[in-house]
Chains A and B, each alone.
Chain A
């Protein structure tokens, strides 16, 4: 079945440091890939997505590129801020969802990011 593996956290960085959170997946067909963020006390929010190979999703300074050859969707940000402290989830959606986020999602285990001033 489908699965998503994220790098284990927690990740602790200083403000303005470079961030990478690794995510790899296994899936049949051609899934869409997502990154979700959960700020303290809030629900998960869609951060960015990519629906086909070589697509790059970006939002709020975060980027991730859909790499079919390495089955990866690593999250990056060039300069993190304290306000980026949150839990980040990588996820994939079965191909039947057509690239939207409303289908069944398979999640990674989440990575806690803490950014210090």
Chain B
């Protein structure tokens, strides 16, 4: 069945560095990718919606220059956390859309030290 493969599953980085998270849609073409983050004991919050070949649409309060989203192809979308700080430590998860169904990645646990 359709799968979204998200990597890495866990990453620890130093403050000030950038981290790239990839989501690949396997066996299907994801025309739309949603990106979420989850704080401890909080809901998954939608960060942005990206459509293949166009700029991402960010939710209110999400810094687009800090969370760079690229959806250059129908099978790959990336989220880059630039100049990461400890407050960016969180669980990030993508969700790819195929026709009228959606499939989640496994999530990435980011820890900034």
Task: State the A residues within 8 Å of B (CB).
Answer: 4, 8, 36, 38, 41-45, 89, 100-102, 104-110
Contact B93 A43 (CB under 8 A): yes
Contact B101 A102 (CB under 8 A): yes
Q: Cα distance A105–B105 when bound, in Å?
A: 15
What's the minimum C-beta distance from A39 to chain B, rounded to whole angstroms?
10
- In this complex, the member of A41, A43, A101, A105 whose beta carbon has the largest number of chain B beta carbons within 10 angstroms is A43
List the one stretch of B39-47, B64-72, B82-90 in contact with chain A.
B39-47
Residues of B close to A108: CB separation below 8 A: 43
Contact B101 A8 (CB under 8 A): no
Residues of B close to A107: CB separation below 8 A: 36, 43-45
CB < 8 Å neighbour of A4 from B43, B46, B100? B43
Instruction: Report the number of A-B residue pairs with Cβ-Cβ less than 8 Å.
Output: 52
Contact B43 A44 (CB under 8 A): no
What's the minimum C-beta distance from A34 to chain B, rounded to whole angstroms?
10
Residues of B close to A101: CB separation below 8 A: 101-102
Residues of A close to B32: CB separation below 8 A: 102
Contact B106 A43 (CB under 8 A): yes
Q: Mark B45-89, 1 if CB is under 8 A from A, else 0.
A: 110010000000000000000000000000000000000000000
Q: Cα distance A89–B95 when bound, in Å?
A: 15
CB < 8 Å neighbour of A43 from B6, B34, B41, B43? B6
Q: Cα distance A43–B106 when bound, in Å?
A: 4
Identify 19 new A-B residue pairs, CB closer than 8 A, beyond the known A105-B46, A107-B43. Answer: A42-B106, A43-B93, A43-B107, A44-B104, A45-B104, A89-B44, A100-B100, A100-B101, A101-B102, A102-B100, A104-B49, A105-B44, A107-B44, A107-B45, A108-B43, A109-B41, A109-B42, A110-B43, A110-B44
| Chain B residue with Cβ nearest A103 | B102
Is B4 interfacial (CB 8 A cutoff)?
A: yes
Q: Cα distance A43–B91 when bound, in Å?
A: 12
